[in-house]
């Protein structure tokens, strides 16, 4: 089943989780995943540390739980920078052996002090390789509504994005952003560049000031004044900050879906209670899907 087909039928609502740090404790995520099933996700994607294959056991175990135990379509993140062909082959074949045929192909974050393998220097290199060798694997890739921080220019970044689509990616998931106007400007840039695959908007509810500051600093994502004021006002009141952060995310989602976005990708940070509140407030603006045992997907 190709995740990208979902967009033909509905506004997609997808989730992202990360595996437990230790593979030995992978079962500890089951209650989180079970709770996330209540928000009717169209698919759940699972991150993989930039190191790639060395850390892939947790990701493979979690996508297995999602797709084969909970019967929710799963997408495995595959970063390429620190992997060679053999390692990518092993990972893809392990995923195929558990019937997971959707991946999010990434360059991956840089690991300070560690030299890249030099095989998949850009996500497009990985996409080209996987697409030609594994034609049955469906490939999503990442995009940056406010430009990737290492790009020499926004024009270059869009050009590189086009290379990922031309190499075989048929679905984009965006980096998180806090100002919808930047996403709408980005959609115009994509249209001008002839990129017309479905693009999901990445939304991260703020539940911790420290966490948002860390993520936005590492990835160079701009934080609007309005959002900063909210974080500062409730910095010492966890519950108020969580409520305000959820309300902000709901506001973004309602606006995006009303404007016809292809899908919302919620960075859950493994907090099902936050995803649940967002889903309760927005569920009627999305359609619903069902994955059957034989792999068929129907729209409810
Ligand atoms: P690329 O598409 O390769 O782009 C990276 C930079 O290189 C850009 O500036 C681009 O303009 C430039 N570039 C691309 N092609 C070329 C070229 N041919 N010549 C010159 N420059 C070029 N990281 C992880 O390690 N694990 C994860 O699980 C993970 N999940 C993510 C999920 C999402 C939805 C997103 C948005 C990001 C995720 N990341 C993850 C982070 C991601 O790996 C980083 O943002 C990384 O810096 C870029 O990855 P990419 O696949 O977009 O790279």
What's the CATH number where 138 sits?
3.20.20.220
pLDDT of residue 137 exceeding 90, the answer is: yes
**Cα 267 to averaged position of ligand 1 atoms, centre (Å):** 17
Tens digits of per-residue pLDDT, 106-123?
A: 999 999 999 999 999 999
Instruction: Report the alpha-carbon distance of residue 226 to residue 111 in Å, rounded.
Output: 32
Please state the rounded mean pLDDT for residues 210-238: 96
Residue 291's pLDDT is 65
Q: Is 109 in the pocket of ligand 1 (CB under 6 A)?
A: yes
Pairing mode of beta strands 289-291, 297-299: antiparallel
DSSP 26: G
Pocket test for ligand 1, best of 46, 62, 103, 108 (most atoms within 8 A of CB): 108
Q: Name the pLDDT band for 101 (thresholds 50, 70, 90).
A: very high
CB-based burial label for 285 (10 Å; 0-12, 13-18, 19+): middle
pLDDT of residue 125 exceeding 80, the answer is: yes
Q: Is 173 in the pocket of ligand 1 (CB under 6 A)?
A: yes
The domain total for the chain is 1
Q: Which long-range contacts (CB under 8 A, 24 or more apart) does 230-234 make?
A: 230/206, 231/206
Name 143's bridge partners.
Answer: 174
CB-based burial label for 89 (10 Å; 0-12, 13-18, 19+): middle
DSSP 109: -
C-alpha distances in Å from residue 78, one per residue of 93, 230, 280: 13, 34, 31
Nearest CA to ligand 1 atom 43: 108
- Tell which wins on pLDDT, 88 or 286: 88
Q: Which atom of ligand 1 is nearest to the CA of 46?
A: 28
Number of helices (H), then strands (E), belonging to the chain: the values are 10, 10
Structural domain harbouring 74: 3-299
Pocket test for ligand 1, best of 17, 128, 129, 160 (most atoms within 8 A of CB): 160
Q: ipTM for the complex?
A: 0.99
Residues 183, 79, 130, 43: is their CA dihedral positive or negative? negative
Pocket test for ligand 1, best of 12, 43, 107 (most atoms within 8 A of CB): 107
């Amino acid at each position: 089943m190709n995740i990208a087909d979902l967009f033909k039928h509905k506004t997609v609502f997808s989730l992202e989780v990360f595996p437990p740090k230790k593979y030995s404790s992978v079962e500890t995520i089951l209650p989180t995943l079970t709770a996330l099933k209540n928000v009717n996700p169209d698919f759940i994607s699972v991150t993989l540390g930039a190191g790639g294959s060395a850390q892939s056991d947790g990701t493979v175990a979690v996508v297995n739980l999602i797709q084969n135990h909970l019967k929710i379509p799963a997408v495995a993140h595959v970063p390429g920078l620190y992997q060679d062909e053999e390692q990518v082959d092993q990972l893809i074949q392990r995923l195929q052996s558990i019937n997971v045929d959707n991946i999010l192909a990434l360059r991956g974050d840089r690991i300070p002090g560690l030299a890249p393998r030099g095989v998949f220097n850009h996500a497009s290199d990985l996409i080209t390789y996987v697409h030609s060798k594994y034609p049955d694997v469906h490939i999503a890739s990442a995009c940056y509504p406010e430009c990737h921080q290492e790009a020499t220019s926004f024009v270059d970044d869009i050009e590189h994005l086009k290379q990922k689509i031309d190499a075989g990616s048929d679905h984009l998931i965006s980096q998180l952003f806090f100002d919808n106007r930047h996403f709408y400007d980005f959609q115009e840039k994509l249209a001008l560049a002839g990129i017309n695959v479905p693009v999901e908007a990445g939304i991260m509810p703020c539940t911790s000031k420290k966490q948002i500051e860390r993520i936005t600093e590492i990835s160079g994502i701009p934080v609007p004044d309005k959002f900063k004021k909210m974080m500062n006002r409730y910095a010492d009141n966890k519950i108020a900050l969580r409520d305000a952060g959820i309300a902000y995310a709901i506001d973004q989602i309602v606006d995006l879906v009303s404007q016809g976005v292809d899908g919302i990708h919620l960075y859950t940070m493994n907090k099902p209670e936050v995803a649940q509140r967002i889903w309760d407030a927005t569920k009627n603006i999305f359609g619903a899907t069902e994955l059957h045992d034989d792999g068929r997907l129907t729209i409810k």
